[in-house]
Amino acid sequence: MSVGTSEAPFSLEEWYATLAPLQDKQRLSVSRISAWTSTESEESEEKDVPKAAGEGSSLAAFLARVADEVDAASATQHDAQIEALKQTIADLDALLASIDACQVNMAEMRAGLAFVEESAQELMGQAEGMMAEQSKLDKLAEQISLRLSYFSVLPQATALVSSPTNDIVETRAFLDMLKRLELALQFMNSNSHYSDAQLYQMRISHCLVRVMTMVRLQFAKRGAQTTDTALAQLQEVNHTRDFTSDTATLDLYSGPMTEALYGGFVSLQASFRPLFAELEQLETPSAAPSAALIAVVPASGEEYHEILEECRATFCRWRMLLAKESLRMYLNDHGRRIQSPQDLAFSLEQAAGFVHGLACQEVALYTTFFCAASLKGRHESPSAPTRLLHALGEQLLAFASSSLPSTPHELAALCAVFQTMPPPKATALPLATSGSDLLDAEQQHQRALAWMQPVLHDLCTRLVKSANAVVKSDIVSFAPKHEDLLYPQVLLEQRQAIAEEQAALAKATREKVLKHTKRASAVGAGLLESLVGDRKALALFSQPSAAVYASWYVPVRTSLELLAMLHTHVPISSLIDVGMKCIDGAQSAVAHAANLLRDGKYGAPEGAVGAVDGHLFQLRHLFVLQELFYSVEIASRSAVSHAANDPSDMQLDAPGMQIFGVRVADASVVLDTINSLWSATRFLSSEPKVPPLSHDERSHLNQHTQTALDTTRQQLHTSIVDASAMTSELASANLALPLQIFLAQAQRAAPDASKALAAWTTFQQSLDVNLDELREKVLVYISDDATVANIMDTVVKRTVETYHAYKALVDDIHTQDGASSESLSALAPPHEVQAMLTRRLQPALDRAP
């Protein structure tokens, strides 16, 4: 195509306006393509432009060639590309239309999805409601089925209990049926409003009674067979032992003995323990329900208790046969070795250990068959296992009763053997021992202690009887020898030791409980303070220091020794009874000895003892007996607070069994008693304000015992007041004897001035001779400074009274000539004499000789 005939090309704006009307985004895209193609074209033009070869001829050719290229550039040579672009634009329009259609479809689909979701939620709610209703119906069906099963249990149970033999009792089906019957009975008891519930309740109860009867009969049959086999095994063990050896003893814990005594009960326990556990739930009204759906209203279990109690009694009879047979074998073995009382004591101690080990194992075995709560009987009657344990104690007692000692010391030693029985060595029975109701070793030990009751009761009776004999022979009927009444020589020889020991005792008391003490010196007789001074425990009836104890009269020492042996081994009522007899007897013996001292038949060498020694001797020992009496009362108070909570005190559960073993006293009670006895300033003339026994403390004492306490307390107080009054009266009479003689003569004849002066002179001499001696004797016999001061005050008071009467009579004598009248007028007034006597009789705090 030539340049002259070609059409002018469209401009880009014309292209946009006519051939390709585009939107803004499309126009931008085309502009970018145009700019790119324009750049490509310019580069190619630059490459294709021919260069002028020269200045002349080539210029025309060059211009011509350029004109041809211009003509070619204006020609339409891109039709194919334009057509392709048009096709692309058409395709893009179609895609845009499809996109619009898709957007419309998506909107419609979203609306449909929202509708579907809303409908699905409604359907799910309805489905959940139907599922809940279905679950409720299922549970209701289960409950209905369960309740119907309670009404349908009787035919199956009747078929089972109608078995021709009782061997079915030991099958699993029988136990399952028993549980179902138990549940059915509980259901009938708690849902009596159901139709015929009472009738079914009666039938199920009768069926359960039949079941229990079958259990009892089968248990009796199997247990009797097992017991016979065990007895035969025991005999075989006994026959196979080597009796020629002195060291051969029957070992309870050996393999053959354990197998013989307990091996046969393994299968018996495995078969019957589950049955007894179910029956015990029926027996116990407070048993927990076995089904969660049942609100149980427990029925009375008395109808089941009798059958179960019969099973327990039967079991204990079997065990009693075996236990007594093994104990018989053991005692026969030891009996042939007893040659002396020492052998008996040793054999009895060994036998006690054997019996206690056997008792512990019997308790452990019992709790593998029955619940531990049944170890104690109902009401006041002892349980079957308690009777079994008592039988063992009675058998041991029968073995030793003919050879038991008779002295209190030996009997107390035997009581201590039993009351301090340690737990046996731990052994495992060949039985199933799992379960929360079983007892541990310590609990078995405490339960098994009941076997000691017959032994301790017999020993206690013998001990009290022996103690009463000692009271009669060694206290009431005590005949003193010369060396028994070497007073005040005994006290003078031990004066230094007594003073030192009492000072140490008082210091120990104050250091231990300073806040309770009201005195700085040794107080009282030292018996109660010896309890407080012991840093280990407040053990009642403890001996004071050796020097103080040796200075007591023999019957008083015997009383303390006897009560020290008794108080941990006898009931508190027996202790009080023997204690009051000891104190009364010792009081009589002391009074008799005091009369012997006053008469001068006994005592220190001639000239060293006087009439006042008898009264001081009696007063000294009355103070000891008073503290001994209040020690008995402290034991009575402690019996309430300690013995009931101390297993070693042997408070057993049998009817009529009294408290044993009052071991320690409360410190505050002891100190309050000491302060009440010895802090009062007028205790010699008025009864000490010791708190009487409370109602609770008297509740375990009978009327006879209470009367004995009150009578002895009053007698002691009266004797102390009388002895102190006699001491003061005799001492003041010795001091004022010259004045009393003058006063007596003045009543028969007119008083004479010379005789009055002679009486005054003799009175002064008497004071010089007797005051120091009286003071020393009172200090030797009486340990408490306040008591000494009280006695001295009374002596001074009575002596001054005599002097006052003498001075009044002298003042009435008519004035006579001579030196006598002048001397009489210079006599000291009574208050000066009183001051002088008080000063000279004032007890020194330093008791060193």
768 by Cβ neighbours in 10 Å (0-12 / 13-18 / 19+) ranks as exposed
Rounded to whole angstroms, the Cα distance separating 220 from 201 reads 28
What angle is formed at CA 725 by the lines to CA 720 and CA 726, rounded to 5 degrees? 100
Phi and psi at residue 12, to the nearest 5°: -65, -35
Q: Which residue has the higher pLDDT, 436 or 177?
A: 177
What angle is formed at CA 615 by the lines to CA 612 and CA 620, rounded to 5 degrees? 120
Task: Give per-residue pLDDT as tens, 91-121.
Answer: 999 999 999 999 999 999 999 898 888 888 8
* Residue 847 placed within a domain: no
Q: Are residues 633 and 757 in the same domain?
A: no
pLDDT of residue 17: 66
* Residue 715 placed within a domain: yes
Task: Give per-residue pLDDT as tens, 182-216.
Answer: 888 888 878 778 778 788 888 888 888 888 888 88
CB 297 within 8 A of CB 185: no
Rounded to whole angstroms, the Cα distance separating 463 from 570 reads 8
pLDDT of residue 562: 94
- Domain ends where: 726, 755, 785? 726
Domain around 116: 82-151
Contacts of 439 (CB under 8 A, 6+ apart): 363, 364, 367, 372, 447
Which of 83, 70, 63 shows the shortest CA–CA distance to 6? 70
Task: Give per-residue pLDDT as tens, 253-301.
Answer: 777 888 888 888 888 888 888 888 888 887 765 444 444 333 333 344 6
* Residue 464 placed within a domain: no
Rounded to whole angstroms, the Cα distance separating 553 from 536 reads 28
Residue 398 falls in which region: left (phi positive, over 0), alpha (psi -120 to 50) or beta: alpha
Q: Any idea what DSSP says for residue 625?
A: H
Q: Are residues 497 and 569 in the same domain?
A: yes
Q: Give the number of domains in the chain.
A: 4
3-state secondary structure 759-774: HHHHHHHHHHHHHHHH
Residue 376's pLDDT band (cuts 50, 70, 90): low
- Domain ends where: 51, 77, 103? 77
pLDDT of residue 830: 86
Q: Are residues 648 and 779 in the same domain?
A: no
* Residue 312 placed within a domain: no
Q: Are residues 705 and 824 in the same domain?
A: no
Task: Give per-residue pLDDT as tens, 612-663.
Answer: 888 899 999 998 898 899 888 888 876 654 443 333 333 333 333 333 554 5
The amino acid sitting at 418 is: F
pLDDT of residue 642: 45
Q: What is the DSSP string of 780-791?
A: HH---HHHHHHH
Of these ranges, 250-259, 276-285, 542-551, 691-700, the one predicted with the greatest mean pLDDT is: 542-551
Q: Are residues 694 and 825 in the same domain?
A: no
Q: Are residues 713 and 749 in the same domain?
A: no
Q: Are residues 685 and 798 in the same domain?
A: no
Which of 21-30, 615-624, 784-793 is least confident?
Answer: 21-30
Which of 543, 551, 546, 553 shows the shortest CA–CA distance to 491? 551
pLDDT of residue 314: 92
* Helix (H/G/I), strand (E/B), else coil: 539: strand
* Residue 660 placed within a domain: yes
Is the pLDDT assigned to residue 1 strictly greater than 60?
no
Task: Give per-residue pLDDT as tens, 595-605.
Answer: 988 887 776 66
pTM reported for the whole predicted model: 0.71
Report the Cα–Cα distance between both ends of the chain, in Å, rounded.
171
| Separation in Å, CA 464 to CA 63, 450, 468 | 165, 21, 6
CB 538 within 8 A of CB 666: yes
Q: Which residue has the higher pLDDT, 556 or 162?
A: 556
Which of 211-220, 655-664, 777-786 is least confident?
Answer: 655-664
Q: Are residues 796 and 834 in the same domain?
A: yes
Contacts of 478 (CB under 8 A, 6+ apart): 554, 555, 558, 589
pLDDT of residue 656: 34
- Domain ends where: 56, 77, 98? 77
Q: Are residues 636 and 681 in the same domain?
A: yes
Mean pLDDT of the region 810-829? 65
Q: Are residues 58 and 101 in the same domain?
A: no
pLDDT of residue 295: 36
* Residue 543 placed within a domain: yes
Is the pLDDT assigned to residue 339 strictly greater than 80?
no
pLDDT of residue 538: 60
Q: Are residues 603 and 711 in the same domain?
A: yes
Residue 341's pLDDT band (cuts 50, 70, 90): low
* Residue 63 placed within a domain: yes
Q: Are residues 715 and 788 in the same domain?
A: no
* Residue 395 placed within a domain: no
Instruction: Convert 665-684 to b/e letters by CB count within 10 Å (16 or more is b).
Output: beeebbbebbbebbebeebb
